[in-house]
A and B are shown apart, each in its own frame.
Chain A
Amino acid sequence: MKTLVWVEHDGGSVKDATLSAVTAASKLGEVHLLVAGQGVDAVAQAAAQIAGVGKVHVADDAAFAHALAENVAPLVVELMGHHDAFVAPATTSGKNIAPRVAALLDVMQISDILSVEGEDTFTRPIYAGNAIATVQTSDAKKVITVRTTAFEKAAATGGSGTVEAVAASGADKGVSTFVGSEIAANARPELTSAKVIVSGGRALGSGEKFRELIEPLADKLGAGVGASRAAVDAGFVPNDYQVGQTGKIVAPEVYVAVGISGAIQHLAGMKDSKIIVAINKDEDAPIFQVADIGLVGDLFKIVPELTEKL
């Protein structure tokens, strides 16, 4: 089976999410990549280095600069003429593009897979991760998004893919234009790839307290910083910090939940973490049912003391 993988990139380098998608795709057969964007030579070269990659299709055009689904989907559909599966990481861009591709191919997409059980059989979480379904598709072409935390990353080097340009005439479908973006400045490790994450909840009370308590602890541990929906909705931190069913899905080595009660929507985003540490003053908080190490007490006392003693 020939599989086309959507390469998630920032214009200069390949994002880690792609490497997980490559691992999932390699379980289906031959892996080809699609690099779409504007001025993406460096990305294409980097993509060709990924272990196990065959052809790297490169579509370089202004129409693809911001990965607008309206322009990218027809490009993918064209390439699907000689591929059997399209695989994208379940990032916001993968989730935006892949279903549009599936509809144009008249196939059902399989979202957010956790494992590949056979060439047409996969597992995926439903009901906020409270159930795992094994599903089998009857579609000839497959469109799949991959939960990146469920697959090891493919080695970023050691491959020898061949780079091939794709013609992009008429790529701008003219129904959408990119206006601008506001990317949150964050010097810490990216949440979805961080080994350690310190997350704060509503109990912190304010954005100042969040920064004052959570950030020094995160710095001590070299950790990424996350938050519950309550903390985001209360305006303590920007929404791209949110971990959960509707935010980011993370699975770090260590997840430290501070002042987070553990609603099912939050657990959906972090319960595959290797070790969960919970600090909460309510000893009946649901978070303690999944925490490996729990400490009941006042976070305003515990967190500074912990930061100090580490």
Chain B
Amino acid sequence: MALFEEIAPEPADTVPVRRVTISVNGERRTADIEPRLLLAHLLRQGLRLTGTHTGCDTTNCGACTVLFDGKPIKSCTMLAVQADGHEITTVEGLSGASELHPVQEAFKDCHGLQCGFCTPGMMLTAKALLDETPDPSEDDVRWALSGNLCRCTGYQNIVKSVLSAAQKLQGQSAADGS
């Protein structure tokens, strides 16, 4: 596949190429890639899903966080071939066709972002937390977000955003239940 002109593999005689099929934001994507290709680079360069960012080279910052079968992972620290057969959700898959996810709305409402660089990873970590813990305490939120660095916000409005999204989601599920 000529999917990745930027990250094309070495000539086939020197580097083996693997075919992977990954569900990304609910869509089946197939690609022939080098085994060493990082998932973050597959998403960004290959699939042009550039909302996933890279902020470090030592797995500390979490800007590359995506959901791997619903769990937050740092996509700079997973080979794309490891995602073969799995489901990946990126920030681009967070909103519906027209509606924002409550986490996205809350980040805007509570001023949970400034430069926006950590935001996609931050929101996906938050979504994963809320999927598992619908009514988190502030400590729960801070602990869950501790793998995601932010340089702009000092975290407080992010914490506020996540707590606000939790309330909104709980309101929604209560409304759905009735």
Are these two chains actual partners, yes or no?
A: no
Query: Which residues on A are within 8 Å of B, measured CB to CB?
Result: none
Query: Which residues on B are within 8 Å of A, measured CB to CB?
Result: none
